[in-house]
Structure 1
Amino acid sequence: MKLTRLTLATALVAGAAFAEDIKPADVAFSDGAIETSLTGMPGDPARAPEIMDKGAGNCIACHEVTALNDIPFHGEVGPTLDGAGSRWSEGELRGIVANAKMTFEGSMMPAFYKTDGFNRPGDAYTGKAAEGELAPLLTAQQVEDVVAFLMTLKDE
């Protein structure tokens, strides 16, 4: 009996390690939220500051985050992210990071996990139209890492 449980637990862990990310086109939104992890794995909040700084996300260009005060030049265009983990659920935060327009129509926040439906996407800063498939701004794991970090930002 112990061997069966151990084998089953090992298979589940191994299966999760090799699970494929949910592709941007296959993401299921429910009232703006994405209830299911995009990777099947928990995010790592320790990796989020690099993503949220001048990395792929550059969240602090628009948002103030007191927990990241060691990073300069926080923006004031978007709301402060302090208390985000108290204001929104994990699924709601995942939906906002992936595509804020699904929650806040007319938001100017970029869709960080979207690859289609754009109006005239460009090829970086060349002034030319994009050719071929577009990659999302953040990977599925980066979205999960940012969401895990935002969940730590609770009101005191």
Structure 2
Amino acid sequence: MRLWTLTGAAIIAAGSATAGPVAPTDVAFGEYGSVSESLTGVPGDPEAGANVVKNKGIGNCIACHQVSALSDTPFQGEIGPPLDGVADRWSEAEIRGIVANAKKTYDGTMMPSYYKVEGYIRPGDAYTGKAAEEPLDPLLTAQQIEDVVAFLMTLSEE
């Protein structure tokens, strides 16, 4: 009986490991926008997350937020709140939800929805007829979201 239980658990674990990332349209947001489950089932890499945050070609979070831990990155923004101490203000689930789609937490925010593929307002359709067709690719992959969350969880005041 014990061997079957261990074998069954291994099969279930292997099946969930190969399931792949949660699709942007399948993300389960909580009442206030939190996302408690990992989008990949794989821990995020804080170093890769820092790269996404500071890289103007990927996440470009520093265009709007100041991050003292990335003081070597110039031209940090002041539009969004500073991210210093973010891990003390929000839980991991709340941070994941804000990064994935901040509009679920803060209606009307200017922050991009990094893991959204449909439901956009497409002004180009009314004026030029050249707006891209949905679904669009998300701005960040599920793993990049997890990496950013892992990096942001390192930013505590303590």
**TM norm. shorter chain > 0.5:** yes
Q: Which residue of 2 aligns with 1:135?
A: 137
| TM-score, normalization by structure 1 | 0.87
How far apart, CA to CA, are the structure 2 residues paired with 1:5 and 1:69?
A: 51
Q: Tell me the SS of whatever aligns to 2:153.
A: helix
Q: Tell me the SS of whatever aligns to 1:33.
A: coil
2:78 pairs with one of 73, 76, 87: 76
Q: Is the 8 A contact 2:65 2:78 kept in 1?
A: yes
Q: CA deviation at 1:121?
A: 6.7
Root-mean-square deviation (CA, aligned residues, Å) is 2.3
Question: Could you tell which deviates more after superposition, 2-11 or 61-70?
Answer: 2-11
Q: 1:15-38, CA deviations, whole angstroms, 9 ceiling, x for partnerless residues?
A: 454221111111111121001111
Q: Is the 8 A contact 1:99 1:112 kept in 2?
A: yes
Runs of 4+ in structure 1 off by over 6 angstroms are: 1-6
How far apart, CA to CA, are the structure 2 residues paired with 1:132 and 1:144?
A: 24
Structure 2: 5+ residue stretches without partners: none
Structure 1: 5+ residue stretches without partners: none
Q: Report how many aligned residue pairs link the two structures.
A: 153
| TM-score, normalization by structure 2 | 0.86
1:59 pairs with one of 58, 61, 76: 61
Query: Structure 2 vs 1, CA of residues 134 and 47 (structure 1 numbering), >3 Å: closer, same or farther?
Result: same
